Structure 1
Amino acid sequence: MVLRRLLAALLHSPQLVERLSESRPIRRAAQLTAFALLQAQLRGQDAARRLQDLAAGPVGSLCRRAERFRDAFTQELRRGLRGRSGPPPGSQRGPGANI
């Protein structure tokens, strides 16, 4: 508790803060922090630009591909059901009927 008060009193001293800001480790930490923030900002902008480009182009083609897949799947399903003989699955009753 006493140490916390002492540290708080020292950090509120303008002379100490200025002397610390001129020290090499504090300056280096500030440089690294600024570098990390700038890199994060640039990467975020790059990712946003790539997402925007991705959303602008192939979304229409993706929808068309999904529609073609749906149509082909339903056609194959109908062909398969037409080619089967006998009652549809699940229509039999009794024990062991749907095995």
Structure 2
Amino acid sequence: MLSRMLMSLLNNLHVVEKLAESRPIRRAAQITAYAITKAQIVGRDSSQRVLVPDAAAGPRGERPSARRRGRRRQATQESRRDVCQ
């Protein structure tokens, strides 16, 4: 019974227009629009950060740990050459 009465009110154009003009409903719509826009901006920034290598990365987009491994490998190879000579 209550759900039927609520549905009849929500299907009434005049009631819906009055609700849309009320301050709480307008404020709720503003907050919702703000949250959606903010989420889109954060998502766009995150995807750009993933796609574009950051300043901490090396010249080829490597991470610092990859550069350390490369330097360690190079040092190991040089030490092997020194021992073999």
TM-score normalised according to structure 2 size: 0.66
Report 1 or 2 for greater relative contact order, CA contacts < 8 Å, sequence distance ≥ 6.
Answer: 2
Structure with bigger gyration radius: 1
SS in 1 for 2:52: helix
Counterparts in 2 of 1:60 and 1:43: CA distance versus 1, 3 Å: closer
Counterparts of 1:60 and 1:54, CA distance in 2: 5
Counterpart residue number, 1:48: 47
Aligned-partner residue type, residue 61 of structure 1: E
Query: Can you give the 5+ residue segments of structure 1 that lack an aligned partner in the other structure?
Result: 73-99
Question: Which runs of structure 2 are paired with 1:28-47 in the superposition (5 Å)?
Answer: 28-47=27-46
SS in 1 for 2:62: helix
Number of aligned residue pairs: 71
Counterparts of 1:50 and 1:69, CA distance in 2: 28
Query: Can you give the 5+ residue segments of structure 2 that lack an aligned partner in the other structure?
Result: 77-85
Counterparts of 1:41 and 1:12, CA distance in 2: 32
Per-residue deviation, residues 40-79 of structure 1 (Å, max 9, x unmatched) = 0011111111111138x5565345655666785xxxxxxx
Counterparts in 2 of 1:66 and 1:5: CA distance versus 1, 3 Å: farther
Per-residue deviation, residues 20-48 of structure 1 (Å, max 9, x unmatched) = 00000000000000000000001111111
Q: What's the Cα RMSD here?
A: 2.4
